[in-house]
């Protein structure tokens, strides 16, 4: 029988969230994240990284909700016009929502309730806003059993959200922001303020929190792939905090997720940097007539390029853009593919790094 317990406001008891085990893991997590923040700066063009990693995240985050799309379909949808499946649309909306959140944080340095509502409505493409009808419960997909009943009354939801935001926007003086991130993530998912898109919104809030706290400069760390690989555990631990206040394992899970994802992303960035340097040399040697550093960097920003994107990105004529792309295909930097009437040029090695 599912017992409905009132969701407590933040903060939880200090001794429950700062155990010895948590502090030990915290050291490893901080180091890994610090390394990621540092290495991100070695890429000359930051939007290159953001674009690449954000797309991967949009796909992984949607996969948690069982919206599966392959990356190729996705990149193609971003470069060609036409009708896409609902799945592709959801992933593209999620990507837009990340960029929206990042802009808000960059401009004002904190979040308001209406900012969270904006981010969520970008994800779900509706403006139903905060739940006002009672009856929302979370069930086990397979058995239909009620696993969790979030707060029902709109007044209580708003009250909990304002408490949540107070803790989200207050720079932590003595509690590590990484421990706080785990607490905040639990709290947001438990408030479950919207009819849908709570998981995806909550995962965007995680990254914004890291940026607000200066732990990262750009939105390139996402926990979704880790959660996908350990999904059962994620829900089980979330639920245990709810049923018996066991914070330790939940916080350890999130800290390990941040550590593992940071190290993975560091590897990816290193590989991207090596590939970029290799391509710059190759283009200089084999395509010296058209060699431009900006051209090669642009291909990394958009692993699927077409003539228009080069025209726009470099401010050159169509004829020149077309020649550049053909030339780079001849030397092996790109590979072309026909999609409908359009020719798209693919940066295959880069896509392999991102998918890995």
Sketch the domain layout of the chain as residue ranges. Answer: 14-268, 287-355
Euclidean distance between the first and final Cα of the chain, in Å?
Answer: 43
Query: How many C-beta atoms lie closer than 10 Å to residue 9's C-beta?
Result: 14
Q: Give me the tens of pLDDT residue by residue for the chain, a chain 356 residues long.
A: 556 789 999 999 999 999 999 999 999 999 999 999 999 988 877 777 787 777 777 778 877 777 766 667 777 777 776 777 888 888 888 889 999 999 999 999 999 999 999 999 999 999 999 999 999 998 888 898 988 999 999 999 999 999 999 999 998 778 999 999 999 999 999 999 999 999 999 999 999 999 999 999 999 888 988 998 898 999 999 999 988 889 999 999 999 999 999 999 999 999 999 999 999 999 999 999 888 899 999 998 888 888 999 999 999 999 999 999 999 999 999 999 887 788 889 998 988 888 77
Q: Give dist(CA 319, CA 175) in Å, integer.
A: 58
pTM for the model = 0.91
Q: Looking only at Cα atoms, what is the longest distance across the chain? A: 73
The residue length of the chain stands at: 356
* DSSP line for 183-243: HHHHHHHHH--BSS-HHHHHHHHHHHHHHHTTS-SSS----HHHHHHTHHHHHHHHHHHHH
CA 145 vs CA 140, 141, 149, 232: distances in Å:
5, 8, 11, 16
The whole-number pLDDT of residue 165 equals 98
Q: Number of helices and strands (H, E) in the chain?
A: 16, 5
Q: Span 14-268: which CATH code?
A: 1.10.3290.10
SS3 122: helix
Q: Which CATH class is domain 287-355?
A: mainly alpha
pLDDT for position 69: 66
| Other residues' Cβ atoms within 10 Å of the Cβ of residue 21 | 12
Predicted local confidence at residue 65, as pLDDT: 76
Using the structure block, give the residue that is written with the tokens 């639990």.
Answer: 186
Cα angle: 208, vertex 43, 329; to 5 degrees = 120
Neighbours of 144 (CB within 10 A): 7
The pLDDT tens digits of the residues spanning 102-139 come to 999 999 999 999 999 999 999 999 999 999 999 999 88
Domain 287-355 in the same topology as domain 14-268? no
The span from the CA of 152 to the CA of 12, in Å, is 21
Q: In this predicted structure, what is the pLDDT of residue 2? A: 57
**CA–CA dist 32, 34 (Å, integer):** 5
Strand order in the sheet with 342-346: 304-305, 342-346, 335-339
- How far, in Å, are 109, 147, 172 from residue 160 at the CA level? 21, 20, 19
Note the pLDDT of residue 169: 96
188-208: buried (b, 16+ CB within 10 Å) or exposed (e) per residue? bbbbbbbbbbbbbbbbbbbbb
């Amino acid at each position: 029988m599912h017992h409905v317990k009132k969701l407590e406001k933040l903060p939880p008891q200090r001794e429950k969230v700062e155990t010895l085990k948590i502090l030990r893991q915290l050291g490893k997590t901080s180091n890994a994240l610090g390394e990621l923040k540092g290495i991100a700066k070695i890429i000359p063009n930051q939007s290159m990284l953001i674009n690449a990693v954000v797309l991967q995240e949009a796909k992984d985050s949607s996969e948690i909700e069982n919206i599966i799309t392959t990356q190729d379909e996705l990149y193609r949808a971003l470069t060609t016009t036409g009708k896409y499946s609902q799945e592709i649309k959801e992933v593209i909306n999620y990507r837009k929502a990340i960029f929206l959140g990042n802009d808000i944080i960059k401009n004002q340095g904190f979040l308001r309730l209406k900012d969270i509502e904006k981010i969520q409505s970008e994800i779900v493409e509706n403006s139903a806003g905060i739940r006002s009808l009672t009856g929302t419960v979370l069930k086990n997909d397979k058995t239909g059993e009620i696993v969790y009943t979030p707060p029902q009354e709109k007044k209580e939801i708003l009250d909990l959200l304002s408490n949540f935001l107070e803790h989200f926007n207050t720079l932590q003086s003595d509690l590590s922001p990484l421990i706080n991130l785990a607490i905040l993530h639990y709290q947001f998912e438990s408030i479950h303020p919207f009819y849908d898109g709570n998981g995806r919104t909550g995962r965007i809030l995680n990254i914004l929190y890291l940026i607000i706290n200066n732990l990262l400069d750009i939105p390139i760390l996402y926990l979704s792939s880790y959660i996908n690989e350990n999904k059962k555990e994620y829900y089980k631990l979330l639920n245990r905090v709810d049923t018996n206040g066991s914070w330790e394992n939940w916080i350890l899970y999130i800290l390990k997720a941040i550590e593992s994802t940071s190290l993975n992303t560091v590897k990816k960035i290193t590989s991207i940097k090596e590939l970029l340097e290799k391509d710059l040399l190759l283009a200089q040697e084999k395509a010296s007539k058209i060699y431009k550093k900006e051209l090669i960097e642009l291909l990394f920003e958009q692993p699927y390029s077409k003539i228009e994107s080069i025209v726009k990105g470099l401010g050159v004529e169509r004829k020149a853009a077309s020649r550049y792309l053909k030339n780079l295909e001849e030397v092996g930097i790109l590979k072309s593919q026909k999609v409908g009437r359009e020719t798209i040029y693919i940066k295959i090695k880069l896509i392999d790094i991102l998918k890995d």
